[in-house]
């Protein structure tokens, strides 16, 4: 009889497990160590080489870190259907979490950390493969997938990431960033840092701020009426190669998606939108303009509509 009862109990537990939301083994996941726990070459279980930051044993940066991490563009907010399973309530380390299902109405401040090679290539809670060099993040309750702006409160650096994983659940962290996102925020060396998280809806303004990877100010023109200004403007008028750059992207799809958003946002402004490949980036341009002065005037006008000032670009 006791064997029958034990068998029935095991069957009940198996059925309960099958009915729960599929989740990665978050209960055993290690998150990078707190800043105060970071030990380089110590014996506390936290390891790290100079310049790589603090992390628990078995995790850390990869062996071949790409040299151009700063050039990897931020995630581009876009409308995506919610994952069928990853947004259900779940339990991790004995605590119940209830994911939110709306974007753009969430703000949070707390400690961010990063996760690296230990999970690189493994499945995330969304079922996607984790790429530590992509602009992604894990959050306990933000919708999967969704987008968030993360700002380092210490240095004011800001990035936009795509949330596609659950965690962290240790050390009172609020978000786990990919290696690249943490690098761009300047928290790799510390291992963690206080950040502010803002959920983003898929709007044109959010995309523009997230992906304008070049932020050089517009060139200063020579005084109006000078021979230098007149000569430059006349030359550019003949060539018809004066444009304003609205954003630059790593992929053609991202650039075209952004260009469509810009068309919808700005409407008919009497200029053409186009994509232009230069220095390995796909750039979204509007123009051409008859002169640099006209382009600068248009940039000032567009700043009020877009929330950022387009950059002068000469083909």
Domain assignment present for residue 15? The answer is no
- Answer yes or no: do 47 and 193 share one domain: yes
Domain boundary among 154, 170, 202: 202
Q: Could you tell me the CA-to-CA distances from 30 to 14, 195, 261 in Å, in that order?
A: 26, 20, 39
What pLDDT sits at residue 261? 81
- Answer yes or no: do 282 and 171 share one domain: no
Q: Which domain holds residue 79?
A: 28-202
Please name which of 258, 300, 261 lies closest in space to residue 282, comparing C-alpha atoms: 258
What pLDDT sits at residue 171? 80
Domain assignment present for residue 94? The answer is yes
- Answer yes or no: do 65 and 113 share one domain: yes
- Answer yes or no: do 42 and 191 share one domain: yes
pTM attached to this predicted model: 0.54
Q: Output the six-digit token pair for 199.
A: 């959920």
Q: What is the CATH number of the domain that holds 82?
A: 2.40.40.10
- Answer yes or no: do 240 and 168 share one domain: no
- Domains: count for the chain: 2
Torsion-angle region of residue 293: left (phi > 0), alpha (psi -120 to 50) or beta?
alpha
What pLDDT sits at residue 196? 96
Residues of the chain with pLDDT under 70: 1-60, 62-63, 203-240, 315
Residues 6+ away with beta carbon under 8 Å from 145: 80, 82, 83, 126, 162, 163, 164
What pLDDT sits at residue 281? 82
* Residue 183 C-alpha from the chain's centroid: 12
């Amino acid at each position: 009889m006791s064997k029958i009862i034990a068998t029935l109990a095991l069957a009940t537990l198996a059925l309960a497990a099958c009915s729960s939301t599929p989740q990665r083994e978050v209960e055993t996941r290690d998150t990078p160590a707190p800043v105060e726990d970071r030990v380089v070459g110590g014996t506390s279980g936290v390891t790290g080489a100079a310049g790589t930051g603090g992390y628990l044993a078995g995790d850390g940066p990869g062996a071949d870190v790409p040299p151009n991490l700063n050039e990897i563009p931020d995630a581009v907010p876009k409308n995506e259907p919610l994952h069928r399973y990853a947004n259900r309530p779940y339990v991790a380390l004995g605590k119940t979490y209830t994911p939110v299902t709306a974007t753009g109405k969430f703000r949070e401040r707390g400690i961010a950390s990063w996760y690296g090679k230990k999970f690189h290539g493994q499945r995330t809670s969304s079922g996607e493969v984790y790429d530590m060099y992509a602009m992604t993040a894990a959050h306990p309750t933000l919708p999967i997938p969704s987008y968030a702006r993360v700002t380092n409160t210490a240095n004011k650096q800001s990035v936009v990431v795509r949330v596609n994983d659950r965690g962290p659940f240790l050390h009172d962290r609020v978000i786990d960033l990919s290696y690249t996102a943490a690098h761009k925020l300047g928290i790799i060396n510390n291992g963690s840092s206080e950040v502010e998280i803002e959920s983003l809806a898929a709007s044109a303004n959010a995309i523009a701020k997230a992906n304008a990877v070049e932020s050089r100010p517009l060139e200063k023109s020579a005084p109006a009426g000078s021979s230098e200004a007149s000569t430059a403007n006349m030359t550019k008028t003949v060539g018809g190669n004066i444009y304003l750059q609205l954003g630059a992207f790593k992929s053609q799809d991202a650039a075209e998606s952004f260009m469509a958003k810009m068309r919808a946002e700005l409407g008919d402004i009497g200029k053409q939108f186009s994509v232009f490949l230069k220095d390995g980036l796909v750039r979204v341009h509007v123009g051409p303009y008859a002169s640099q002065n006209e382009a600068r005037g248009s940039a000032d006008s567009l700043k009020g509509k877009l929330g950022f000032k387009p950059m002068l670009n000469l083909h």
